Amino acid sequence: MSVAIRNLAAGKMRTLFSVLGVAVATLLLTFVVGLYRGWSEELVTYIRDTDAQIWVVGDGADSFFTPSLFFRTTLIEVQQTKGVTKVDELVGRPMKLRTADGRWDSYILGHNPEGSGGPVHVKKGSGTPKIGEIVIDDVLARTSGLDVGDEVSAGLRTLKVIGISTGGNLVLAQLSFVNLEEARILVGLGAVVNFALISTDDPDVEAVRARVDAVPGVTAISAGIFASNSQKVLQRSVLPILLVIVIMAVIVGTIVVGLTVYTAVIEKEREFGVLKALGVPGTGLLRVVFEQSLVCGAAGFALGVVGAYFVSAVAQLFIPQVATLFRWQDIGLILVATGLMSLVAGFLPMQRILRIDTLSVFKA
């Protein structure tokens, strides 16, 4: 290890660039994984925090992001199903919210203020909108500059902002809550429902779900599975893109460390020849190389993880939609990935080390 550290110290700038290369790769890995985790959690915060054990959707739908419609008359049969204690209907659609300063994407969701399905966490103002009023998400408020008391247009309606809530960030849009009757006016379809929330006192929730699921025209899904299905939408659309970024980060980090170690081997070829002439076996020489790689990797990992936390904090100040979640399990996996990256980089100069001629030590 002392030989490896002396080799790295002999080329301080080269070592610095190697550590920075690993740090950038680790930063990307940590930030991308944290961003994916954060978005996954943000996407289903509303579903998990809503006071409902069962979600009812139209046939063919299985998540919050799958188009769902069924007739209000169907709710009568759902309400009469054995074990159902309470049913709350939700009506909504994606809409643009407009002010004189711009337009913002939102998912307008109408609910009964006296029932379930409204904003779970109210940050400011009121969370029980009347007709002509709206509660917007904190992310939308920060993006648009809207505050309690401002007015915003949706369709042909002008709505007054009476509250700001959290937990409604759907990444590409944010949830805004209106009165159920207001939602029917905005949507223009008073005879249909998008979702229904079911509460039950029956300890056998699965049995109640099965009975509701047997009602023609609807599908009943437990809240946990409904949240999981909604997360899979993100996995199918965003995960492949993030995976490409992760692979590119690993490749870049491996190449940077590999080139650094390879250059160090070339510059110290005579010293390695002396070690070989003194009887150090090939495995001992390779150990020095791998130790150099691991030292660069460890330093880069520590710098990269700290940098990821810093970048996340700065990004959230300027881009409210950014939501990151750093789990120690993910950090551990990234540490393993950085170690493997460093070990692979150590193989690049392996042939050069093993082929060093001890006679090169005595050349003038």
Contact 182, 110 (CB under 8 A): yes
- Give me 270's structure tokens: 């005579």
Residue 98, C-beta contacts closer than 8 angstroms, at least 6 positions apart:
104, 152, 153, 154
174 part of a folded domain: yes
- Three-state SS for 72-119 is HHHHHHHHCCCCCCEEEEEEEEEEEEEECCEEEEEEEEEECCCCCCCC
106: amino acid identity, one letter = S
Same domain, 214 and 110: yes
Same domain, 172 and 83: yes
Same domain, 208 and 324: no
165 part of a folded domain: yes
Same domain, 212 and 247: no
85 part of a folded domain: yes
Question: Of the residues 225, 248, 270, which one is the last residue of a structural domain?
Answer: 225
Confidence check: pLDDT of 109 > 80: yes
Which neighbouring-strand residues pair with 163? 125, 135
113 part of a folded domain: yes
Kindly indicate the confidence band of residue 216, based on its pLDDT and cuts at 50, 70 and 90: very high
231 part of a folded domain: no
288 part of a folded domain: yes
Question: Of the residues 225, 257, 281, which one is the last residue of a structural domain?
Answer: 225
Confidence check: pLDDT of 364 > 50: no
Same domain, 206 and 325: no
Same domain, 218 and 302: no
Report the largest interatomic distance among the alpha carbons of the chain, rounded to a whole angstrom.
Answer: 98
146: amino acid identity, one letter = L
Block residue for tokens 């711009």: 102
Same domain, 179 and 303: no
Residue 209: name the closest of 84, 298, 346, 65 by CA. 84
Same domain, 78 and 191: yes
244 part of a folded domain: yes
Contact 170, 103 (CB under 8 A): no
230 part of a folded domain: no
Block residue for tokens 């005579």: 270
Q: What is the pLDDT, as a whole number, of residue 218?
A: 92
Same domain, 162 and 308: no
Same domain, 152 and 257: no
Same domain, 37 and 21: yes
Strand pairing class (151-154; 157-166):
antiparallel
Same domain, 158 and 101: yes
Question: Rg for the chain (alpha carbons), in Å?
Answer: 29
Question: Of the residues 225, 250, 265, which one is the last residue of a structural domain?
Answer: 225
Phi/psi-derived region of residue 202, left when phi > 0, alpha when psi is between -120 and 50, beta in every other case? beta
Could you give the CA distance from residue 183 to residue 280 in angstroms, rounded to a whole number? 79
Which neighbouring-strand residues pair with 177? 109, 135
Domains of the chain: total? 2
Provide the whole-model pTM: 0.80
Confidence check: pLDDT of 136 > 90: yes
Kindly indicate the confidence band of residue 116, based on its pLDDT and cuts at 50, 70 and 90: confident
Q: What is the pLDDT, as a whole number, of residue 351?
A: 67
**Domain carrying residue 172:** 50-225
Contact 157, 91 (CB under 8 A): no
Could you give the CA distance from residue 26 to residue 250 in angstroms, rounded to a whole number? 8
- Give me 57's structure tokens: 């959707």
Confidence check: pLDDT of 224 > 70: yes
